[in-house]
Chain A
Amino acid sequence: MTENIERHRYDVVVIGAGGAGLRAAIEARLAGKRTAIISKSLFGKAHTVMAEGGAAAAMGNVNPNDNWMVHFRDTMRGGKFLNNYRMAELHAKEAPDRIWELETYGALFDRTKDGKISQRNFGGHEYPRLAHVGDRTGLELIRTLQQKIVSLQQEDRAESGSYEARLRVFAECTITELLVDGGKIAGAFGYHRESGKLVLFETPAVILATGGVGKSYKVTSNSWEYTGDGHALALRAGASLINMEFLQFHPTGMVWPPSVRGILVTESVRGDGGVLKNTEGKRFMFDYVPDVFRTQYAETEDEADRWYTDPDNNKRPPELLPRDEVARAINAEVKAGRGTESGGVFLDIASRRPAEFILKRLPSMYHQFKELADVDITTQPMEIGPTCHYVMGGVEVDADSAATTRVSGLFAAGEVSGGMHGSNRLGGNSLSDLLVFGKRAGEYAAGYVDGLGASRPKVSKANVDAAAETVLGPLERTGGENPYELWHELQTVMQDLVGIIRRKHELEESLKRLADLRERIANVGATGGRLYNPGWHLALDLRNMLIVSECTARAALQREESRGGHTREDFPAMNPTWRKINLVCALEGDDVKLAAQPVPSMPPRLLALFDRSEMAKYLTVEELAELDSVVAGNNVVAERAVN
């Protein structure tokens, strides 16, 4: 290498400046660590701003019956009991503190009459639970964390004279490789997007907070940043990914007009009275209530409509079923020929609520449709359909510490981590997830650095040179393939063959085509120079999207059942045997290898939160027998205590 590579030395490097990354950085800095935040975009532009509904936390401000146990139960049910129970437990217990903490940073949530944080209903949550600010909660969260970072920088300046003494944001910077020394993180290598200059961070701890993978799909609500960078970095560093077959397709994304295809319509449109209708004008969700939910959802339109004003005495409208059920129902309607030309159905709130109500409750929704599509949601229905929204799968981590299990010093939080949401995420759980585990990742990363003392892993020159060569490859290649065309082909493969409804032969076909693409992507070229060159940036992101797509396709082929965000047409039912299994992806050489691993089983204290009759739908016969013996054992213990 002839180029002088810019070098920085930090205690903790956080990759990703969304909610999880910023929260992690705050915690690492509060623990006294010199911390760098790496952002692919400008500071404050993270994908977190897209979250509209709110942040789920059992504060019980609106319904005092709510508590962490109810929240935990809802989360496990939503994830079809494939969740890492410990993550779901920590999440439910700590979410309220994380939300309240935001108020001390300056956040202004909507209020209840008695001045507390207001909470709204959301699909899959038993009680009103989502702290919100109109429908721009994600923006409030990012701005609050961004301003907290600034306030910490101001404290550092007062103390040391420099804003960046202990906390620095590297905006528009992409990490392309993690550098590992004997199974321990030694550094991170990347380039500045603006100048194209290479940069090396020497650090013993890296927190991945890079978000999701949606840009591998054609119809997606995700921004360009969602290229699976963290997933791919972790894999290449030797860590593993779990649950990669589970992708959430948000049931209500805009399908018309084309310029806004994929953009989400928040679930609160349904929470506030919106209903789904097919082209025949039928409110069809009543036909799609699965047996496991039968007792909790209304059977008639009258009862459903009464629920909005009297939730205690009526059952919920079926429009508020978990997201995968709604997505599947819409898909079925469209396939049955009752969808619109662009492959969607209608979401109608205009005919059910007065215009003032809609404007008050869904201001940015109204604004977005009006400005982007010239559609007035107070007078006409929206045309919506499923859009790729969230990946439940991600880096395999320890529940308490957010540390990866195979590489020391590597942590992951937020969407890039896996396990918390099981096979399907409840709306509102992602914002609280990233606060809870962002904080934990920052805390444990700081602790890990303390534990290392003076003996920090070393970056090897050979690794740096190899990483630099990879980054500069596309620019130096003459006659390489056009990155935009390759990207388009990758999206077509994933959208058509590994989409919302999956089939064995299509998944096999997708693996063949991904293998072809892998060779072609290795030969991708970029024209132009290094100064802010999007073609080059895309060429580098492609290999991440490819490897993550391969994990998804392989795991989807292996899992022969339908559960949450994974629907197999050839295996339409849930299978209790599969509930016990997490599929884990890791690299062997350059190849993705898949292994089955048992899902951690819930201890009796948590199992006791569920009815046996409910568990019977999820557990195998042997597990149920075991459950019964534990319960019997408890009763014996209880009786003894009484005697």
Chain B
Amino acid sequence: MGALRRFKVWRGDKAGGQLEDFKVEVNEGEVVLDILHRLQATQTPDLAVRWNCKAGKCGSCSMEVNGMPRLGCMTRMSTFAEDETVTVTPLRTFPVIRDLVTDVSFNYEKARDMPAFAPPSGVAPGEYRMQQVDVERSQEFRKCIECFLCQTTCHVVRDHDENKKAFAGPRYFIRAAELDMHPLDAKTDRKDFAHEQQGLGYCNITKCCTEVCPEHIKITDNAIIPMKERVVDNRYDPLVWLGRKIFRRDQLPAQAPAPHPVVAPRQPPPPRVGTHHIPLGVIWHKPQPDGLEAEVGPDGKMPLTEVTFDRAGAASPFGDNVTFPLPPDSLNYQHPKSDD
């Protein structure tokens, strides 16, 4: 018999819902999904949660644990303090169906927009010859288990439904990169497709997708950045490209259609009122996390270019000084409604 631990689980459907409190037994060596199963078996038989393999291989049990997109089967209970309340909510970016189950059809629609592998003409089955070193690059992306954690964490579409139409998301950027790097794919316009049809330009390489990937695919470094660079190579004059690297955007002449801004203008962070309890069932909006101060140089200004910045991407949209998981006491959760 293990110890009783506290859980908050979001329950509801598309009409709304709230976090519900549970006290549930936790044994050594268990993961969050085990605890949800125990809740089903002992307290809430109709608690909706998707799962399949419970081995981190199928990517079904995606959820947000203390605000961090995770696989339920890969989140060990030993990573939480014993007196910590664990808060489990559905993927925020997708419309909720019930409890922890969301409608992820967005992803399947984007998959369908992606032109399939084009077999090389004149090469019979069995005659394909490729070197291991050449297939390995694409194989990294084919490790993807389609858990869609990268899709839910990407701030281009998280809380920005309006961007979903034009933006395919990290999962499908790595699919484009995979086909682009496939030694025998007969199509040659994968990069153009990523740029023109998938909305690759919306991505401002904050690497959140890489951070949440349970397969540790280097989505940003190995797929998105190479695709962006090669798109730039192909599409722009090298001098213009250099100009973009060393001048601020407002110093550049007007460019061909730039993607519209992807991050909504930020409100000043609300004053911190210490840990406060928010009653269940109250409709509130997710407050902006604090700690959004920009990284500035000794001159008090932001670095002009990536060249002089200390990392490849932009600063974390959550603020570089925010660490995950967020303390559950200050975590307010209301799943976005589809008509929001």
What's the nearest-Cβ distance from chain B to residue A146, in Å?
8
Among B6-47, those with CB < 8 Å from A are 13, 27-31, 34, 40-42, 45-47
Interface locus among A5-13, A37-45, A507-515? A37-45
What's the nearest-Cβ distance from chain B to residue A222, in Å?
9
Q: When each residue 139-172 of chain A gets 1 if its CB lies under 8 Å from chain B and 0 otherwise, what string results?
A: 1100100011011011000000001000000010
Q: Are B131 and A115 in contact (CB under 8 A)?
A: yes
Q: When each residue 80-116 of chain B gets 1 if its CB lies under 8 Å from chain A and 0 otherwise, what string results?
A: 0000000000000000011101011000100110111
In the assembled complex, which residues on chain B have CB atoms less than 8 Å from the CB atom of A103?
125, 128
In the assembled complex, which residues on chain B have CB atoms less than 8 Å from the CB atom of A225?
52
What count of chain A residues pass the 8 Å CB interface test?
72
> Of the candidates B34, B45, B138, B216, which one forms a contact with A526 in the assembled complex, judged by CB atoms under 8 Å apart?
B45
Q: Are B31 and A368 in contact (CB under 8 A)?
A: no
- For residue A573, CB closer than 8 A to chain B, the reply is no
In the assembled complex, which residues on chain A have CB atoms less than 8 Å from the CB atom of B130?
108, 111, 115
Given the known interface contacts A44-B146, A133-B142, A534-B40, the answer about A50 and B126 at a Cβ–Cβ threshold of 8 Å is no
> Of the candidates B30, B34, B59, B115, which one forms a contact with A45 in the assembled complex, judged by CB atoms under 8 Å apart?
B59
- For residue A532, CB closer than 8 A to chain B, the reply is yes
Find the B residue at minimum CB distance from A483: B45
Sorting the interface of chain B by its residue count into under 10, 10 to 19, 20 to 34 or 35 or more gives 35 or more
In the assembled complex, which residues on chain B have CB atoms less than 8 Å from the CB atom of A257?
28-30
Q: When each residue 154-187 of chain B gets 1 if its CB lies under 8 Å from chain A and 0 otherwise, what string results?
A: 0000000000000000000000000100100100
Find the A residue at minimum CB distance from B98: A532
Q: Are B132 and A148 in contact (CB under 8 A)?
A: no
> Of the candidates A41, A154, A483, A488, which one forms a contact with B60 in the assembled complex, judged by CB atoms under 8 Å apart?
A41
In the assembled complex, which residues on chain A have CB atoms less than 8 Å from the CB atom of B55?
50, 260, 263, 368, 372
Q: Are A484 and B13 in contact (CB under 8 A)?
A: no
- For residue A400, CB closer than 8 A to chain B, the reply is no
Complex CA distance for A346 and B143, rounded to whole angstroms: 28
Q: Are B108 and A43 in contact (CB under 8 A)?
A: yes
Among A348-376, those with CB < 8 Å from B are 364, 367-368, 371-374
- For residue B119, CB closer than 8 A to chain A, the reply is yes
Find the A residue at minimum CB distance from B35: A259
- For residue A394, CB closer than 8 A to chain B, the reply is no
Residue ranges of B at the interface with A (Cβ–Cβ < 8 Å): 13, 27-31, 34, 40-42, 45-60, 73-74, 76, 78, 97-99, 101, 103-104, 108, 111-112, 114-117, 119, 125-126, 128-132, 135, 138-139, 142-146, 179, 182, 185, 214-216
Q: Could you list 17 further interchain pairs (A-B, Cβ under 8 angstroms) beyond the known A104-B125, A532-B99?
A: A45-B52, A49-B57, A111-B135, A136-B57, A139-B142, A150-B112, A151-B116, A154-B112, A163-B112, A171-B108, A259-B29, A259-B31, A367-B216, A372-B56, A484-B41, A528-B45, A532-B101
Q: Can you name 29 A-B pairs with beta carbons within 8 Å?
A: A41-B52, A103-B125, A106-B116, A106-B185, A108-B139, A108-B142, A111-B135, A115-B129, A115-B130, A115-B131, A147-B116, A150-B116, A151-B116, A194-B97, A194-B101, A223-B52, A258-B27, A364-B57, A364-B143, A367-B56, A367-B215, A368-B55, A368-B57, A372-B73, A484-B42, A485-B41, A529-B46, A531-B97, A534-B48
Residue ranges of A at the interface with B (Cβ–Cβ < 8 Å): 41-47, 49-50, 59, 96-97, 100-101, 103-106, 108-111, 114-116, 118, 133-134, 136, 139-140, 143, 147-148, 150-151, 153-154, 163, 171, 194, 223-225, 256-260, 263, 364, 367-368, 371-374, 482-485, 488, 526-529, 531-536
